[in-house]
A and B are shown apart, each in its own frame.
Chain A
Amino acid sequence: MATKKNIFYQTISLNITSAGLTKATQSESLDKTYKRVKGIQVTVQDSAAAERGTFDIFRISSIDIYPKGFESKLITCGIDVPPNQRFDRNIDEEAAGVPVNITYVDGSTPGTTYPYLVNVIFELHNPAE
C-alpha cells in the first residue's frame, strides 16, 4: 500500500486596530483531522509593526510554546527566505482539535499603519501510515 502523508497549513489571524493593542484569539483550535503540529510561522502585514510585536501568551493545549515577551519577529522573516525555511520547526505537539491560545501585543512602532493583520501559520501533519 502506498504511503500517504498529509500536510495542511492552518492560519489563525488577529486584526490589530490600534497602537499598543493587546489582542487574543477567541476559541480557536487546530484542525481536528490532523494529528501533529510540526511548524509555526508568523507573518505581519505591516512591516514596521513586525519589528516590535510580542506574544503575551502562545499556548497549544496546555503547553506554553513561547514565553511572555517573545518577539514575533523571531518567527517572521523576509521574502528572501524560501517558504519552506520560514517555519520554527522546534515543535512536535498534538494537533487534533486542541485549543490554541495566542495573545499578541502591538509594540507601537513609529510608522505603523493600522489596522493590520498578524497571521500565525501552523504546519499540521498526519503521520505516514
Chain B
Amino acid sequence: MKLKRLIQYLIIPVSVTPRQLKNFEYKIPEDFAFVTGVLVTITPQRPLPNNTHMGQLSLSFNSKASNPINMPVQIENVASKKRGYNFLKLAEPLEGGTYIEGVYKEQYAGHHTNSTIRIYLQGIKFIEEKTNQSQN
C-alpha cells in the first residue's frame, strides 16, 4: 500500500465585538493529528486601513498543554501583500479529541463594528494513493 501526503486545513471562525476579550475553544477532529502551520485573518464588517493593529491572539493546544501562539492580529489588504501564501511554521502533534483553546483581546481604540477572525490551521495527513490503471 502506497501512502500519499496530503495538506489539510482546519478553519476556526471567531466572531468578536469591539474591545471584547473573547475566550473560545474548538474540538479538533480525530483525523487532524499534526499542525504544521497557522495563519490568522481578521475581517471587520466595515473596511479599515491596511496594517491596522486590531488585537492580540493566543492559542493553546492539547487542552492547554502547549501554548505556542501569542501574536498580534492586523488588517492585511490583498493589494498591499508583499508576499505570497505563507503560514507561520508550527510542529505541534495533537492528541485526538482534545481542544484548541484561545483568547483574543480586541485592542483597536477607534470606532468600528464587529469582526470575524479566521484561524487557519494547516496540517498533514496520509491517505492511501489510488493507482490509475489506465495510465501506462
Instruction: Give A contacts to B, CB under 8 Å.
Output: 44, 47-48, 50-52, 63, 66-71, 73-81, 85-88, 90-91, 94, 96, 107, 109-111
A-B contact pairs, 24 of them (CB 8 A): A66-B9, A67-B9, A67-B11, A69-B13, A70-B9, A70-B120, A73-B41, A74-B41, A74-B85, A75-B85, A77-B78, A77-B82, A77-B83, A78-B78, A78-B79, A78-B82, A79-B79, A80-B80, A81-B84, A87-B84, A87-B85, A88-B85, A109-B47, A110-B46
Count class of interface residues, chain B: 20 to 34
- From A61, which residue of chain B is reached at the shortest CB distance? B130
Known: A52-B43, A78-B81, A87-B85; 20 extra A-B contacts, CB below 8 A, are A44-B78, A51-B43, A67-B9, A70-B9, A71-B41, A74-B41, A76-B81, A77-B81, A77-B82, A77-B83, A77-B85, A81-B81, A81-B82, A81-B84, A85-B83, A86-B84, A88-B84, A107-B43, A109-B47, A110-B46
**Smallest CB–CB gap between A30 and chain B, Å?**
14
**Smallest CB–CB gap between A25 and chain B, Å?**
20
Enumerate chain B residues within 8 angstroms of A109, measured Cβ to Cβ: 47
Cβ–Cβ contact B85 & A51, under 8 A = no
- From B39, which residue of chain A is reached at the shortest CB distance? A74
- In the assembled complex, B133 has its CB within 8 A of some CB on chain A: no
Enumerate chain B residues within 8 angstroms of A66, measured Cβ to Cβ: 9
Cβ–Cβ contact B85 & A110, under 8 A = no
Enumerate chain A residues within 8 angstroms of B118, measured Cβ to Cβ: 69, 71
Enumerate chain B residues within 8 angstroms of A63, measured Cβ to Cβ: 6
**Smallest CB–CB gap between A61 and chain B, Å?**
9
Given contacts A71-B41, A94-B132, is CB(A47)–CB(B78) below 8 Å?
yes
Given contacts A51-B77, A85-B83, A110-B46, is CB(A90)–CB(B13) below 8 Å?
no
Cβ–Cβ contact B84 & A85, under 8 A = yes
- From A94, which residue of chain B is reached at the shortest CB distance? B132
Enumerate chain A residues within 8 angstroms of B7, measured Cβ to Cβ: 90-91
- In the assembled complex, B10 has its CB within 8 A of some CB on chain A: yes
